[in-house]
Structure 1
């Protein structure tokens, strides 16, 4: 017998190379029809290469019906929840008087006309000194004025460029130790207080950073489309839908007095369904990822509700939350904290569940003879690496967002235990750990679901056991692919 060069090519070891060739002869017209050739190691290599770029094998129509029977009622419940809880638009500020505080201020556009240096004493501006432990007011005054040096301030002339007072100018004094400086021509956002004296009606609220933010968003969209191509476009559309659900439903519904936890579950589920199916297609594989994400979200909700109540966390630990509660007293602040945990975990959960589901499907394609236990064990080896990186990512994300708070507590005289159990820190710890538990649980849950679904269909008989029938197994898979 003469050996062909293909038979001497290296191939990956695995059980049943003859079985896996059943799909090769259906997909690769160049494979020879000689009897028994499907057991050769060369054809096993051809199978692994030919399927690495193809679509995943579909599941049977019966399994698709079972998955649909679970997900269609869930999707219908989400739609019903959106309809029932829909607030009818963003809150109307005319319905109540503005507080004039924080983001509730009326704002107009402005720009810096000129900036000049002046003596702080000439403009009645006393430079502020940082307060140090054990330093009294007299010592601070001596430190500010006893050195004999004149403190130099900046006087910025600001022009109102929009609104009914367009063209009016006012002056703003910037002290030497101010964290923000201004340059001539810089665009600003000005706060307007109509009830204040005329010379005090306008003040600088923030810097107008619309241009750099828009440019950064454009670069992000370009990178996603260039690398992701059509999937990148779908991902951007899904991102826009997610932002729309957040701003048009979740936030207004919470302000309207609906339970924040229920709103977060309904809105988060809507975001999950749209994002996953739009980015990954309406397939059984995506549906398994949706089920895994849903189960993990329910676990996060239960654990969050339990430990937030058990630890007596109120959720009212910062100025922003206090301001929102002052403007809208009917908002349930503790529910708002739990809603934030759920929404914050949703994005990372999508990544974990989709990755695990794809891993199971690809492992099944690489070895069609593998049973559910073997698939689960192999995919879990991938999932354990994913768990380590994802949990670290989530913890660092929360730590980065709370870095100023951590710095304050790092210089405090209290012990680590006292700091960790204080409400403001315990809130972040509960948020991080509950989300991390949900992420960790999503790996075995999603992997088990995917292994169960993908191995539920038996391989075509004959093609799995006899080499002479390998082509028939490939044709069967091809017929199912056309029927998906």
Structure 2
């Protein structure tokens, strides 16, 4: 059996093993590692959100007349929404849910007949529904269609690689849902936990996509090094700038959850930087490693110095676009906030020194530096792992 066929068989076994692991983990119940899970009955007593379909809508004029005049053309509209419940223990029942449209606020929940909505339901001790409110639009169905379209496109154009990509996506999702989030809720140190999980995601993803070979090993080492560099730089400059990790409202809300007493918010900020940079850094590491691998196949007698020079040249071309990718991604996420600051003419000095903005700047620049450092690291590792014996023999044959 040739060496190539042995590696191919190992790739197949690895893929099958990962599929088996994914299936096993999917079968495990998902619950936080702290606190006792509530029973279904307790959840219903506390109120629960269920899916329903709007049958008809009518205005509750009696309630509207009880509201004093708000002036300036503003009003509050009360709607009685007849809804058929499509899930939960009251599935099939038709109830009247209240929907309030307050014209003083920009966000207004407008529903139409035939819409699927989420209904917040309260029960009494006898299990009868006492109150029901329209909580939100049910969007999950169309999101599922979008996901299915993504998977179809992935398989049609990627074929075997596309199927492997789906496996790695499932593995990444499971690592986050089953390991990272429960681990953070349980109080584990965010940075070591995130580094270990990101290293595992990187190794499994690249081994499944590209197989067990020197090219993949070089990409894994380069990616892990780049991500660690991004995390280390973020920690250093985060400490120097005294970032608290509490710049965003969502982070502040974590202090009020049952597991929120022991959160390391600064550690969460740095962990988020590591995770956020992983995808782009992995892309750069694999691109450099693949380019050098193909170059060596086409020209086996290329010297190590020329191979490194070629790798750096390829990296410089990638560097500009990928650094822009991170910066534009973070800018896009903060676009409404940036518009708000510009519209209110907030001074640049004040703007840059806010905890929230400083955190985003550190996140963007640390991730970009980690991405740039991945290029030389992957290049040198690829050169160090090359088959030097084959290179020498090809060079001698040419002479």
Q: TM-score normalized by structure 2?
A: 0.81
1:243 has 2:173 as partner: yes
What number of residue pairs does the alignment pair up? 361
Match of 1:405 in 2: 337
Task: Name 2:95's counterpart in structure 1.
Answer: 168
- 2:11 match: none
1:371 to 292, 303, 307: 303
Q: For 1:168, what is the secondary structure of its paired residue?
A: strand
8 A contact 1:191–1:205 mirrored in 2: yes
On the 8 A contact 1:156/1:182 being kept in 2, the answer is no
Q: Distance in 2 between matches of 1:193 and 1:315?
A: 36
| Rounded Cα–Cα distance in structure 2 between residues aligned with 1:390 and 1:317 | 26
Match of 2:198 among 268, 283, 293: 268
Contact 1:120/1:175, CA 8 A, preserved across alignment: no
- Give 1:224 shift: 0.7
| Residue in 1 that maps onto 2:81 | 157
Q: Secondary structure at the match of 2:290?
A: helix
CA deviation digits over 1:122-154, x for unaligned, max 9? 444579xxxxxxxxxxxxx65336xxxxx5846
Q: Which runs of 5+ in 1 are unaligned?
A: 1-56, 62-86, 99-103, 128-140, 146-150, 470-484
Following TM superposition, by how much is the alpha carbon of 1:171 offset from its aligned partner in structure 2, in angstroms? Answer: 2.2
Which position in structure 2 is the counterpart of 1:423?
355
TM-score, with length taken from structure 1: 0.67
Q: Deviations along 1:293-332, whole A, 9 cap, x unmatched?
A: 1111221221111122221111122332222221122221
Query: Which has the greater radius of gyration?
Result: 1
Q: Deviations over 1:359-382 (max 9, x none)?
A: 111222232222121111112111
What root-mean-square deviation, in Å, do the aligned CA atoms of Structure 1 and Structure 2 show? 3.2
Q: Please, which moves more after superposition, 375-384 or 238-247?
A: 375-384
Partner residue in 2 for 1:443: 375
Determine the C-alpha separation between the residues in 1 that align with 2:272 and 2:124: 36
- Corresponding residue of 1:224: 154
Alpha-carbon contact 1:113-1:156 (below 8 Å) kept:
no
Residue in 2 that maps onto 1:26: none
Q: Specify whether residues 118 and 300 from structure 1 end up closer, same or farther in structure 2 by C-alpha distance, changes over 3 A only.
A: same
Instruction: Please tell me whether the aligned partners of residues 120 and 133 of structure 2 are also in contact (alpha carbons under 8 angstroms).
Output: yes
Q: 1:123 to 1:207 in 2, by over 3 A?
A: farther
Q: Which runs of 5+ in 2 are unaligned?
A: 8-27, 40-45
Return closer, same or farther for 1:456/1:226 CA change in 2, 3 Å cut-off.
Answer: same
Name the CA shift for 1:431/1:160 in 2 (closer, same or farther; >3 Å).
farther
C-alpha distance 423-201 of structure 1, shift in aligned 2 (>3 A) = farther
Cα deviation for residue 406 of structure 1 reads 1.4
Native 8 Å contact 2:97 2:131 kept in 1: no
Q: Could you tell me how far 1:121 is from its partner in structure 2?
A: 8.5
Which of the residues 186, 200, 213 maps onto 2:115? 186
Query: Kindly tell me: are residues 105 and 365 of structure 1, through their superposed partners in 2, closer, same or farther at Cα, counting changes over 3 Å?
Result: farther
Asked if 1:301 corresponds to 2:231, the answer is yes
> Which of residues 270, 281, 285 is equivalent to 2:211?
281
